Amino acid sequence: MAEGTGRRLEENGKKKIDPGSWIILLLVVILFVFLSATRSNFFTFNNIHSIIYGVSFNFFAAIGFTLLIIMGELDLSVGSLFGFGGAMMGLFVFSYKLPAGVAIALAMLVAALIGLSAGFLVVRFRLNSMMVTIGVMMTVKGINWMLVNKFSGRQLPVNARSFVSVDVFGIKWIILVMVIIAVVLEVLLARSRHLKQLYYIGHNVDTSILYGLNANQVKCICFAVSAALSAFGGALMTARINHPDVTVGSNLEISIITAAVVSGASIFGGRGSIVRTMLGVLFIFTLQNGMTSYGINTYVQQIILGIILILAIYLDIRVNAKKA
Amino acid sequence: MSLDQSEFLRISNISKCYGVVKALTDVSFCVKKGEIHTVLGENGAGKSTLMKIITGETTPDAGTIELDGQQVKTFSPAAAHDMGIHMVHQELAVFENLTVAENIYPYHNSERAKKIDYKKLYQETQSQLELFGLKTITPDAPMASVTLAGQQMVEILRCIVAQPKVIILDEPTSGLNDSEAELLMQILVRLKNEGLTILYISHRLREIMQISDRVTVLRDGEFVTTLVNDETLTENDLINNMVGRDLSQSLYAIKTDSNAMREEVLLEVKNLAKKNALCSTGLKLHKGEILGVFGLEGSGTTKLSRMMYGLERKDSGEVYIEGEQVSRVNPRSMVQRQVMYLNNNRKSAGLLLDMAVTDNVSLPIVKRVSSRFGLINFKQLDELSLRFIKMFSIALPSLATKPRNLSGGNQQKVMLSACLAPEPKILIANEPTRGIDVGAKAEIHKFLLEIAAKGVGVIVFSSELPELMKLSDRILVMRNNSIAGEVACGDFTEQTIMRYAAVDVTE
Amino acid sequence: MNLESLRRLGKKNELIAVVLCLALVILLTLRGGVFWTGGNLNSLQASIAPTAIMAFGMMLLLICGYFDLSIGSIMLLSGILCGKFAMMGLPIPLIVLLVLLAGLAAGCINGFLVSVLKINALIATIGTQYMGYGLAMTIWDQIRGFGKFSDSFIAIGEGRFLGLYYMTWIALILLAVFSYFLKYTSAGRRLYFVGGNREASKLIGFNDTRILFMTYALTGLLASLAGILAVARIQSPSQYMGDGIHMTCMIACVVGGGSFAGGKGSAAGAVFGVAFMSLLTNMFNLLEMKAQLQNVIVGLVLVAVIVMDGYLNLKKMREMGKI
């Protein structure tokens, strides 16, 4: 089944499910089985629920990232914009006494503008998106630091943070939202002409432009959306931990890019799925949790994650580097 | 003359196929030592493939190459380099960030561990430059500041200072003006007189007549003849050998009447120009007309097609569709005005090789088969794709097959389907039958004639003259980045058209 | 000096960096006597010298058209390894040797990933940066109780010769070495060939893979050298060393005449670029600008530098008719 085609088309006369793309599901299952078997309190509702809860925040940063990676663009600023969302929310709540909802919306708006600027620079000057977004990341990190320092340690008022942990039928609402968004977007990616464009552009941007697609506009919009969604996730996370903090979103881009590539997206574009990325984030997150439960030091975890990233990228190059 | 002299470079029974396309079939000829030997032929005659084999870039399916009595055992660029075969490529391998001297002497003409003596390097470079009469180029000039012609000379010098046995030049004068070309000719003659063997690819008849000792003509991958450039040789002889095909087969029936509606102008281009790429060019396309544009390599045909569609920037020029000027010429606005472009290189643009055929065909019209909110109606989409697949008899296991797994002919048909799916008013086809088998060619020709009969305006840019003579109502011939002439379909002969394309009118 | 040689001078890539440095020095001098004091000049040396040493490596890579984002981690790791080996009681020459070898090894890993496996340089070195940081911090945990280095070790960083720190001398010597290397040796010139047109350099017969690999290895070595000098000066290992230094070096090298497209750059340019960044920081400090704001400005400078460089390259390609 060609990536982006979306429905199970008959190929060679029989229905075909592309096995390679769903390796990530297998990986998640294996990991869960392993941990359930070896760690005594792994397979409990509370534990798994809390893992998925943790994943749901990072998921928002991964959505936009996936949309961009389908087009072959990498947004390395997602981590810093994640933190930015929280820092901005803090600013609006503390300095301007705005209610949480408005604060978050404004934070998303500002983030979207930053994303839009980055996208503009990338398409207008034909720059490498990785490099531009690294620059954006450094700048935004600095801004985050400034903002967080300003409100050093101050806790968000209760009404600005309690909404995060509301349960719906015993499950945090964010998890439900994550699942709904993932499913809806997955369907739309296959069935909506607006989102299908991403695959066209990712497979061959010259062909897309030749047949009239406005690749530049689509990319700019996706950069803006990615930034806004990351900020949203970060704002929620900040509400969860009750106060703006510099560690929110730090190094998140590494986990996200690893999650995306491990789950089947390619830095060359043309491949990617929201559900698979969600599974990828789940995999990485559970792996980290599992390693912690084995007493593996966070820093050693970093080394392991780095190895996984490099391995995944190497495999991506071997499999997907377009034949000249 | 001894055997050495006459068979310095011996090409024997070389054959090469790229899939179904026979690039070279049993080609044999010899190059003498110390001569300038030209290889002449139209686009697709096999010249580039032959050179790739001689320089080791690719391996022949059959046949041998011998240089100075030694047979070529391994085909690789390094091996060819060691044997003394050097080539100046069409896409210059220059280092624009470095000086002229370093481009000529990348090994700095000194031993590995020694300090580079720039003064000596510049002196040596200067003497080389003077030796070849290149007065305007200085050794310490940055390569980026040197003109294209100069860069070409520099690259030739780089080859020469390495003291090769054979030097191969591929269309060295494309992109040069007359005086620059003249200078190059003089340099080549001087080199020849010093004993260098030169293999020269060109279709510029005047130059060929000026400096060649002998000329080998290739046509459609086959060896035609080797002619000696003595007083009796004329340009007509060359043209006749280049083209002289048996055109009696139905595949290449020449069009004799035109039924285009000459009153309605669908597309008009005025004053299209770009520095060093296109001289002020204009053309008109009428309703139901197939306008052919012919030119040999470097004549500007592809640039013209791309600039008129907005795929490349232009310095000046306007495009009018049905009388209205297109304010911003780019693919998006052209597609909106129902003008589609069939690309000449389906691997680089025009196809999505790894997406389903149905996605390829429906790309330009995905809006049409979608609801108001953007949801695609897959049933409609598949019906549309099936329609084209039947129309073109594309051999397809299923709609989900990827173009990468199809033959060249079928890939081309998929691309054509994508271009015709939006039912355009105008189709700009750049090399519509490049690299595909005879059967598929005939089918595509038939289809182009059919849509023209229905009123669609078609511009066909092609380097295959027989194809254009079969399809076109008129043929514009380009040479040297401008239109050299126009031939109407009552007057199509290969000789007439080729003369416009290859011969300098200023003689 | 006639008009022609003035014109030549004007075209030199390093000019921007030199002018910027001069401008900053003038500004700083005008701001009152603090700039030219001994204390300030000392801290300037300490900030410029190690960074310049690392920037040499970055510049060599940039000339080839590549870069290394992990030099900060290598520097950090080196400093911490010094602590670890000192804690183990190893003699100083052995410590230096082992740490330099570690840096070389890190560089070789980078070289292997980028040059041999052909992984995208940005991602590969982000990965090794992340891993390097993790490794460094793991060892950091082990040396928590370490305290200060021995006096003889500190002398590496604090020692002076004719008024300047050893590290300044090392930087100056390396400046001479690399300037000579890049201009007067065939091996050095090859970097420009590889960066200018990698495909063509293959056609000429240069082993671009090996050249690139060795440049990465050298960069790792230089980063660890800088780490040793820096950690010796601050007298005990720090977990914050090298933070953000890859950004500083990138900006320094591009301002100093390099380009992300490759094929350009010089050792002197690297030094002037680093000097510019250090003087800039110096000025921010004298203006009592908060560290966080400085970070934001540096980030913006980075974006500006990336955009300018990209734009200039785009313009050049357009003029040459490539696009």
Q: Is residue B286 part of a domain?
A: yes
pLDDT at C30 over 50: yes
Restricting to C residues 88-117, those with a Cβ less than 8 Å away from any Cβ of A are 113, 117
Q: Are residues B389 and B409 in the same domain?
A: yes
Q: Report yes or no: B227 and B237 within 8 Å, Cβ to Cβ.
A: yes
pLDDT at A11 over 50: no
B371 touches chain A (CB under 8 A): no
Label residue A324 by pLDDT band (50, 70, 90): very low
In this prediction the ipTM stands at 0.89
Q: C261 versus A160: which is more confidently predicted?
A: C261
What residues in A contact C300, CB-CB < 8 Å? 139
Residues of chain A in Cβ contact (below 8 Å) with chain C: 74, 76, 121, 125-128, 130-132, 134-143, 145-146, 149, 251, 254, 257, 267, 297-303, 305-307, 309-310, 313-314, 317
CATH number, domain of B193, equals: 3.40.50.300
Closest residue of chain A to B335, computed from CA coordinates: A212
Average pLDDT estimate for C243-250: 93
CATH entry 1.10.3470 includes domain C13-313: yes
Distance from CA of C112 to the nearest CA of A (A): 12
What dihedral do alpha carbons B453, B468, B275, B280 form, nearest 10°?
Answer: -60
Q: Are residues B88 and B203 in the same domain?
A: yes
Average pLDDT estimate for A226-252: 91
- For residue B482, CA distances in Å to A161, A222, B202, B301, C7 come to 71, 43, 18, 9, 39
Average pLDDT estimate for A128-145: 94
Cβ distance B366 to A193 less than 8 Å, yes or no, reads yes
Q: Report yes or no: B16 and B23 within 8 Å, Cβ to Cβ.
A: yes
Note the pLDDT of residue B3.
47
Note the pLDDT of residue B247.
53
Closest in C189, C199, C205 to B81, CB measured: C205
Q: Is residue B467 part of a domain?
A: yes
Q: Tens digits of per-residue pLDDT, C270-312?
A: 999 999 999 999 888 888 888 889 999 999 999 999 999 999 9
Distance from CA of B396 to the nearest CA of A (A): 9
What residues in C contact A299, CB-CB < 8 Å? 133-138, 141
What residues in C contact B115, CB-CB < 8 Å? 184-185
Q: Is residue B343 part of a domain?
A: no
Distance from CA of C12 to the nearest CA of B (A): 12
A16 touches chain B (CB under 8 A): yes
Long-range contacts of C171-179 (CB under 8 A, 24+ apart): C171/C48, C171/C49, C171/C50, C171/C52, C171/C53, C171/C271, C174/C52, C174/C53, C174/C56, C174/C222, C174/C267, C175/C52, C175/C56, C175/C267, C175/C268, C175/C271, C178/C56, C178/C59, C178/C60, C178/C267, C179/C266, C179/C267, C179/C268
Last residue of a domain, one of B200, B215, B243: B243
Restricting to A residues 137-166, those with a Cβ less than 8 Å away from any Cβ of B are none
Closest in A149, A302, A313 to C134, CB measured: A302
Distance from CA of C179 to the nearest CA of A (A): 28
Label residue C196 by pLDDT band (50, 70, 90): very high
At position B462, the amino acid (one-letter code) is: S
Element (H, E) at C303: helix C291-319
Q: Are residues B419 and B457 in the same domain?
A: no
Last residue of a domain, one of B212, B227, B243: B243
C322 touches chain A (CB under 8 A): no
Residues of chain B in Cβ contact (below 8 Å) with chain C: 77-78, 81, 93-98, 102, 106-108, 110, 112-113, 115-116, 144, 275-277, 312-313
Q: Are residues B263 and B166 in the same domain?
A: no
Note the pLDDT of residue A19.
60
Note the pLDDT of residue C9.
60
Note the pLDDT of residue C7.
60
Q: B94 versus C1: which is more confidently predicted?
A: B94
pLDDT per residue, tens digit, chain B (507 aa), is 444 556 788 899 999 988 767 889 999 999 998 899 999 987 778 888 899 899 888 899 999 998 888 888 888 877 888 888 888 876 778 898 999 999 999 888 777 678 888 999 999 999 988 887 788 888 988 888 888 778 888 888 888 888 888 999 988 887 677 777 888 888 889 888 888 899 988 878 888 888 999 999 998 888 988 989 888 888 888 888 887 665 555 556 777 777 666 778 889 999 899 887 888 889 999 998 999 999 887 788 999 999 999 998 888 999 999 989 999 999 999 999 999 999 998 888 999 998 999 999 989 988 888 888 888 888 888 888 899 888 888 888 888 888 988 888 889 999 999 999 999 999 999 999 887 777 788 889 999 999 999 989 999 999 888 889 999 999 999 988 889 999 988 888 888 888 888 876 544
Cβ distance C187 to B112 less than 8 Å, yes or no, reads yes
- For residue B404, CA distances in Å to B23, B94, B355, C98 come to 21, 34, 9, 52
Closest in B354, B363, B375 to A211, CB measured: B363
Note the pLDDT of residue A3.
57
Q: Report yes or no: A313 and C119 within 8 Å, Cβ to Cβ.
A: yes
Q: A142 versus A7: which is more confidently predicted?
A: A142
Q: Report yes or no: C110 and C68 within 8 Å, Cβ to Cβ.
A: yes
How far apart CA B242 and CA B42 sit, in angstroms, is: 7
Q: What is the DSSP letter of A266?
A: -
C142 touches chain A (CB under 8 A): no
A274 three-class SS: helix
Distance from CA of C193 to the nearest CA of B (A): 7
Distance from CA of B156 to the nearest CA of C (A): 13
How far apart CA A154 and CA A89 sit, in angstroms, is: 12
Cβ distance B366 to A13 less than 8 Å, yes or no, reads no
Q: Tens digits of per-residue pLDDT, A86-116?
A: 999 999 988 888 888 899 999 999 999 999 9
Alpha-helical (H) ranges within chain A are 23-38, 45-70, 78-96, 100-124, 129-150, 173-191, 193-203, 205-210, 215-241, 252-262, 274-293, 298-320
Chains within contact range of chain C (3+ C-beta pairs < 8 Å): A, B
Note the pLDDT of residue B245.
65
Q: Report yes or no: C74 and C103 within 8 Å, Cβ to Cβ.
A: yes
Q: Is residue B327 part of a domain?
A: yes
Note the pLDDT of residue A95.
87
Closest residue of chain C to A131, computed from CA coordinates: C306
Q: Are residues B352 and B386 in the same domain?
A: yes
How far apart CA B139 and CA B122 sit, in angstroms, is: 5
Q: Are residues B160 and B73 in the same domain?
A: yes
How far apart CA A160 and CA A57 sit, in angstroms, is: 17
Distance from CA of C184 to the nearest CA of A (A): 32
How far apart CA A240 and CA A221 sit, in angstroms, is: 29
Q: Which residue has the tokens 């030049």?
A: B169
pLDDT at C321 over 80: no
Distance from CA of B181 to the nearest CA of A (A): 33
Closest in C124, C128, C311 to A125, CB measured: C311
Cβ distance A207 to B401 less than 8 Å, yes or no, reads no
Q: Report yes or no: A146 and C292 within 8 Å, Cβ to Cβ.
A: yes
Cβ distance C196 to B313 less than 8 Å, yes or no, reads no
The count of domains in chain B is 3
B17 three-class SS: strand
Last residue of a domain, one of B210, B243, B276: B243
What residues in A contact B354, CB-CB < 8 Å? 2-3, 203, 270
A38 three-class SS: helix
- The residue segments making up the domain with residue B358 are 348-423
- For residue A132, CA distances in Å to A127, A136, B108 come to 7, 6, 38
Residue spans of the domains in chain C: they are: 13-313
Cβ distance A210 to B331 less than 8 Å, yes or no, reads yes
Closest in A74, A140, A300 to C134, CB measured: A300
Cβ distance A254 to C130 less than 8 Å, yes or no, reads yes
How far apart CA B224 and CA B213 sit, in angstroms, is: 17
Q: B21 versus C220: which is more confidently predicted?
A: C220
What residues in C contact A127, CB-CB < 8 Å? 306-307, 310
How far apart CA B140 and CA B268 sit, in angstroms, is: 47
Q: Are residues B465 and B484 in the same domain?
A: yes
Residue spans of the domains in chain A: they are: 43-249
Contacts of B448 (CB under 8 A, 6+ apart): B290, B427, B429, B432, B458, B460, B471
What residues in A contact C296, CB-CB < 8 Å? 139, 142-143, 146
Give chain A's mean pLDDT. Answer: 89
How far apart CA C133 and CA C88 sit, in angstroms, is: 21
Q: Report yes or no: A132 and A122 within 8 Å, Cβ to Cβ.
A: yes
Closest in A4, A5, A207 to B350, CB measured: A207
Note the pLDDT of residue A53.
92
Neighbouring CB atoms inside 10 A of B138's CB total 16
Note the pLDDT of residue A20.
63
Neighbouring CB atoms inside 10 A of B131's CB total 12
